[in-house]
Structure 1
Amino acid sequence: MTKRIAAAAFFVLAAIAAVAPIRSYDYFWHLTTGRWIVEHRAIPQFDPLAVASAHVPWINGEWLYEIVLYALHGIGGDAGISIISAMLAAAIFAIAVLITSQDAGVALLIAAVGFAGASDRLGVRPAAAAALLIVIAIGLLGSRLRLAPLTIAYVCLTIVWINVHPSALLAPVLALISILQIRSAGGSPAGPPPARRQEAKTRQRAAGGPADEPSALRSIILAGASAIALLVNPYGWNAILAPLRLTSEIHSGAFVNAEWLPSTFAFFPLLYVTIGAVLLLFIGTKEKRANAWRLVIFALLAALAIRYVRNQGLYFAALPLLVPPIGNFSRRVSNGIAACALIPLAWVFQHDAHRPGIDDERFPARAVAALKSYNLPGNIYNVDQFGGLIEWTFYPERRALTDGRNELFREFIEADAVAHRDSRAWHAMIAKYGLVLAVDEYQNEKIEVLDVASGERRALPASLVRYRRRDWALIAFDDAAMVFARRDVFPASRLDAIEYRFIVPDDPGIGYANAEFRDAARREIARAKVQFGDIRVVRELEAGAN
C-alpha cells in the first residue's frame, strides 16, 4: 500500500467517522464575532456582544478563524460547518500519514489512535485549526526545503497561526527544538527513510543543487524569524501576553473552566497509554540522538496535554509525526497493521451520532427560535454556555448577559455565583443589567425552601424558586433550556397567548392539586408538542401528567 493510497483511504474513513453535531458552546460567539468583523470591517477593541463583559481591551487572537467560519457558514450553514469540521479533522491525520517516514501500515495505525484520542477535542473551534497548523509546522521542520523557502513558509504559517489560536506561541519553540536534528542519521519525521534521503542528497549535489543548511544555524534562523512573525497581528505584543495572563488568571482560581483542568488518567486513559507506549519506543530505538528532537517535542506536548485538557488536540494531532521510526515491514505485515487501524476508527464511529448541524440537546435552538418569534424586546439573562447562540440570534437588537469568554467576565462570574445563593443579589443583578427575559438551563437538584405559611421545608424545582411564577412567565422550553419573561415588563395580554402556566419542565412528575389543573397541564403539553415537536421533555411531561 502506497502512502498516497493510505492517506486517501484514511481521510475518507475518518471524515465519515468525524461527522457529528456541533457541540462547542463557543461556536456561536465565534460566528457572531466573525459577522461583526465583516459587517464593521474592523476588529472590535472592546467586547460589543454581551452586557456583563468588563470594559477592558479584548485581545481576540482568533479573529481570522472567525472570519473564515462566518464565510463558510454563509455558504453551508450549520450542517455545512459540521461536514467541513469533519473533513478538517480527517485531513489533519491524513496529512500526517502522508508525510511521516513510518511504514504505511504503522502510519495508519498511529494516525487512527491519534484520531481517536483527539475526536472529542477537534470540534468546530479554533483549536482544530491550530492542530492542523502544528502538523504542518512539524512537517516543515523535518523537511528538506532549502533555508530561504523554508523560512518564508514557516513565517507565513506562524502569522496565520497567531491570528487563529494563541498556541502559535509554540511555533518558535518547535523551531528551536529542531536544532537537535541530526539529519545525516535520519531524524526527520517526514520524507523518505535515511538511505533514500542520503541518496537524494547525493544526486542533488551532483546536479549542482545546494546542500542542506547546517542544522543549528537553520533552526536558529527559523526560530528567530518565527518569533518576529508572532508580532504580525492586530495587537502586537499583547497577542503574546494575553494567553499568558489568562493562564495566570486560571491559576488564581478566579473561575473554573473544564478545558483548563488537568487531564486525569480516570477520564483520559488513552493519553497516558500513548505517552507510555511512545516513551518505551524512544527507549528501545537505536538512533536515540537522531530522534532526540522528536522526544523533546513529544515531551513538551505531552506535558501540556496533561496540564490542561484543552491541549490534548495538539498532542494527538502531532503524535503520528513524533513516534520514532519503527521500521519497514513486508507488504503482508504492513497490511495487517493497517487493518488494525480500523479498530480505533470504528470506536470513534460508534461513539457518536452522525448527523450534521447543531446538537439540540446542548443548544436551546427551539426555545430561542420561539423567543425570537415572540419579538419581545430587552436584554436576556443566560448561563454562559447559551450566550453565543443568543448573541448570534438577537444581536444587536437584544443582548445576552454573558458567554464563554471567561477572561472578559471575571467580576460578573463572582457576582453571578453570589446571585445564585442570595435572592437580593439576584434581584440587584436583574436591575443592574436591565434583564427582562431569561434563557436558563435545567438543574437536576431541587432547592429546599421554607413555606412561610406552614413553617414546613419543601424541595421545589429550581425554576419555581428562581423564576417565581408570580413574577416570571414560562414562555418556551426545549430539551436544553427554559425561557421566562418578566410579568412587570410585558403586558399580560401579550404573555397570556404564549405562557405555559401549569407545566414545570424541570420537574415533569410534579403533582397537581386537582383534576382541573392536570387537564390544563395536558392541554399545554399538547400545545408544546405542536410548537416544539416530540422532544424528550415533552414526552416526560406527558408521562408525568398521565
Structure 2
Amino acid sequence: MNVKFIRFIRFIAFLSLFTLVVFLSLFEINDADTIQYLASGKYIVEHGLPQGCVFTYTTQHCEMVYPEWLFHVIVYSVYRVGNWVGLGLFQLGLNCLIFGIILLYNYKRKYSFLSLSVFFLLGLIVASDRSKLRADLPSLLFSTLLFIILESFINKSSVTKQKIILFYGGSIFFLMMLWANIHGSFPLGYFVIGVFIFDRLLTNLKSRFVNHKKTKILDERAKILSAFFILSLIGSFINPFGLKSYILPYRFLIEARHINYISEFQSPFIQVNSPRFSLVAFKIMESIGLILIVLSIRVTLARHMLLYITFLILSIQQVRNLGYFAIISMLILPYYGDYFLRRVSVLFTKYRNRFIIFAMFLGNLGRLSMILFTVVFIYLIVTQKYYFFEKRSRRFGFGLSQIVFPLNAVEFIKKNNLQGNVFNSYSFGSIINWSLYPAYKSSIHGHLSDPLFFNYYSRVLNDPLFYKEAVEKYKIKTFFLNYAEPNTFLLVRYLYSDPDWKLVYLDPTTVIFVANIAEHSQVIKEHAIDLKTYPLDKPFAFYKNITKVDLITMHSQIATFYYNFGLYEKALVEYQKALTENPQNFVLMTNLGRTYVNLKKYDEGENILTSALKRNTRYDVAHFFLARIYQIKEEYGQALEEYSKTLKYNPKYKEAHFSIGEIYLQMGNIFQARREFEEELFQNPNHALAREALQKL
C-alpha cells in the first residue's frame, strides 16, 4: 500500500479525534454553577473578596467560593469581553488544551494507533460529562499537567542538574498555587505526588531486598519528589482566604452528606432507564483497564495501578469524579494496551510476515473506521440527536440554555416588581444571584454549604405545613419553583390549593406563586392562573425560536405538570404533541399510556404501553400500568405476570406489592394477599391502604 496514503490516513484519523473534541465541547451554557461564577465574579470585581454569604437571606454559610474565587473572576472577565459566545469559546479552549496535551503526550510516547485511539476515544466520551464550564474543568487540566510533569521527571536519565530540579519544582509550585485558587480538588495533587513518592520507595526496596543491589531506599529522586510534595503544600497555601480556603475541601468531604441527592454526587451505577453513552464508555474502559493491568501485572508500575484503582473507586462513588478517571486512564492505559499487543504478536512469531501484513491491514481498517465513527458522531451532535437520545439538556451551539434557565420567569419578576423575599428551587438560585441581585436574594443556591438549611429546605418541599413556618420565619412573599425538579411538585400542589397564594406564572419548567396581599393585587389581577381554563398554548408564548428537541422536552414536562394535578385531558394533549415529534420514545409512550389509564381509556392505554415495552422490555413503569389495566379488566393472570416483571426490574416499585395483594384477595388467596400487603408496608411504612387491608384481614 502507498506509504503517502497510509500517512495521510493516519493524519486524518488523528485529526478526526481532535475534531471530535471540538464538537463535544461546543454547547450552550447549561450549568447553574457557571451562572454562579458570573454572579460571584461580578461581586468580587465590584466589591472585593466576599466574607460570608452575600447572595442569600437564609444563612451565612456560603464558603465554597474560597478555593474558586480566581476562576469566578476569570469567567466573569471572559463574559464581559465576549458575552455568552466568549464563554462558549473559553469552554472550548480549555477542553482542547486538556485533550490536545493528552493526545500529544501519547503520540510522543509512540504508542500504537490502536491503543492510543481506543483509550482516547473512550476517555473523551467518559470525560464529556464533565467538559462543561465549571471550576473542575481546569482542575482536569492541572491533573493532566501534574501527571505528565512527574512522569517526565521520574523517567529523566539524570536529575542532579540544578536547572532541571528548579524547572520541575517551580512548575509544580506554580501549578498547585493556581489549582488552590481555582478549584477545591487541589488535595488530589498531594495524592498524585504521594503516589509517585511511594512508587519510587517501592522500586528502591525491591532493588535492594529482591534484586540484592546496593540501592539507597531514600535515593536522590525520592528526596527530590519529597521536596516537590512540600512545595505543593506551600504553593496551595497561597490564597487570599488563607487557612479557610486550605481546609475547606476537607470540611466539604465531611459535611457533604446533605447533598447526596444531587445527581453529580451519586454513583453512575444508580438505576437509569436509558444509560448515557458516557457511562457505557466508562464501564467498557473500567473493564478493559482492569483486564490489561491484571494481564500485565509483571510490568505494571505501582504508581499506575494506585492511580487507576483510586480514581476508579472515586468514579464509582460519584459521577463528578468521572473526568479524573478518564484523564488518568487516557494517560496510563495505552502503555498496557501496547504491552498486551506485543505479547499477542509473540504468539505469531512463526507466521511473522503474514502477521505483519494482517496487522497493517487491521490498522488501516481501524483508522478508516475511526474516521467514519467520528463523522457520524459529529453529525449526531450537530443535529442535537445525540443529546436528545441521552435525555440531556445540553445543546450544540453558543448561548445560554433557555430549557435550563428560567429567563422569561426572571423577566416576569423584574417587570412586575414582586415584593418580599423569594423562596426558590435549588437549581434557580444562581440565576437569581446573577440576574436579580441585589434587588432580590436567593433562599438557596449551589454554593451554599449549610447542612442545616439543606435539611430545612427539604422539609419545606416535603412537609405540607412546614412551608407556612418558612414563610413567617423568612418573610417570603414569592415562590419561584422548578416543578420538574425532584421533590418540588408536592409544594407546588399545596401552594395552588392555598388561598393565601396565587399562581401568576406558568411555563414548561417554572411556576411563580405570589402572596395574596395588597402589594400583589395588580399582578394577581392581570396574571392569576386557573389551570382548568388556562389555554394550552399560553405557557409556550414566552419562548422564541424553540428547537424541535426543546419543544419535545417542554411538551413532556408541562404534560407531567398537568398529569400531577389530575388534569388528564390536558396532559393527554401535551403528551401526544411530544410523541408526535418523537414517536419512538418509550418514556413518552408510557406517560401517554398511564394518562389513558386515568381517563379509563383502557384499550388505548394497553396498545401504547405494549408498544413502549417493545422498545424497552425492562421499563418498570410501563409494566406496572399495563398490569393495572389487566387488573381492572379482571385478567388476573396477565396482571400478575406484569406486576412480577415490574418488581423484577425494580424490586422497590411503590404500589406493586399492594396491587398484587389486591389481586390475591379477589382470587380468595388470603395468605398470599397478607404477605404482599406486609411486604408493601415493609417497603413503604406510611402506606395507609396496605395497613387498612391488613387490619381487615
So what's the TM-score if we normalise by structure 1? 0.78
Percent identical among aligned pairs is 19
Deviations 1:58-89 (A, max 9, x none): 66211111111111122232343234323422
- On the 8 A contact 2:197/2:222 being kept in 1, the answer is yes
Q: Secondary structure at the match of 2:246?
A: helix
Q: Structure 1 residue 362 and structure 2 residue 404: aligned? A: yes
The one-letter amino acid paired with 2:141 is L
Distance 1:446 1:143 in 2: 50
Q: Secondary structure at the match of 2:67?
A: coil
Superposition pairs for residues 117-516 of structure 1, below 5 Å?
A: 117-144=126-153, 146-179=164-197, 214-251=220-257, 256-264=261-269, 268-285=279-296, 288=299, 291-325=301-335, 326-327=337-338, 334-342=363-371, 343=373, 346-347=376-377, 349=381, 350-352=385-387, 353-408=395-450, 410-442=451-483, 463-468=492-497, 470-497=499-526, 499-502=527-530, 504=531, 510=532
Distance 1:7 1:235 in 2: 44
Q: Secondary structure at the match of 2:479?
A: strand
Q: Secondary structure at the match of 1:138?
A: helix
- Unaligned 5+ residue runs, structure 2? 1-6, 157-163, 204-218, 343-355, 388-394, 574-697
Distance 1:219 1:336 in 2: 44
Q: Greater shift after overlay, 231-240 or 535-544?
A: 535-544
Distance 2:181 2:486 in 1: 42
| Distance change >3 Å, CA 420–CA 36, structure 1 → 2 | same
The one-letter amino acid paired with 2:460 is A
Deviations 1:457-511 (A, max 9, x none): xxx98634224463233332322211222221524234323x1422x3xxxxx5x
- On the 8 A contact 1:364/1:479 being kept in 2, the answer is no
Displacement of 1:215 in angstroms is 3.0
Q: Secondary structure at the match of 1:484?
A: strand
* Greater helix share, structure number: 2
Residue 643 of structure 2 is matched in structure 1 by: none
Displacement of 1:423 in angstroms is 4.3
- On the 8 A contact 1:79/1:356 being kept in 2, the answer is yes
Displacement of 1:332 in angstroms is 5.9
Displacement of 1:397 in angstroms is 1.2
Q: Secondary structure at the match of 2:513?
A: strand
Q: Secondary structure at the match of 1:65?
A: helix
- On the 8 A contact 2:462/2:490 being kept in 1, the answer is no
Distance 1:544 1:301 in 2: 48
Deviations 1:64-118 (A, max 9, x none): 1111111112223234323432342243222101012223453233111101011
Distance 2:69 2:180 in 1: 10
Q: Secondary structure at the match of 2:269?
A: coil
Distance 1:12 1:240 in 2: 38
| Distance change >3 Å, CA 444–CA 94, structure 1 → 2 | closer
Displacement of 1:5 in angstroms is 7.5
- On the 8 A contact 1:7/1:95 being kept in 2, the answer is no
Q: Secondary structure at the match of 1:398?
A: coil
Q: Secondary structure at the match of 1:363?
A: coil
The one-letter amino acid paired with 1:473 is K
The one-letter amino acid paired with 1:441 is N
RMSD of the alignment, in Å? 3.5
Displacement of 1:334 in angstroms is 4.6
The one-letter amino acid paired with 2:226 is I
So what's the TM-score if we normalise by structure 2? 0.63
Displacement of 1:130 in angstroms is 0.9
Q: Structure 1 residue 15 and structure 2 residue 50: aligned? A: no
Q: Secondary structure at the match of 2:185?
A: helix
| Distance change >3 Å, CA 241–CA 426, structure 1 → 2 | same
The one-letter amino acid paired with 1:73 is Y
Q: How many aligned positions are there?
A: 484
Distance 1:121 1:273 in 2: 18
Q: Secondary structure at the match of 2:238?
A: coil
Q: Greater shift after overlay, 461-470 or 380-389?
A: 461-470
Deviations 1:285-330 (A, max 9, x none): 38615x3322222122112212222111111122211115244997
| Distance change >3 Å, CA 288–CA 52, structure 1 → 2 | same
Q: Secondary structure at the match of 1:474?
A: strand
Distance 1:302 1:383 in 2: 33
Displacement of 1:6 in angstroms is 6.4
Distance 1:233 1:446 in 2: 38
| Distance change >3 Å, CA 334–CA 177, structure 1 → 2 | farther
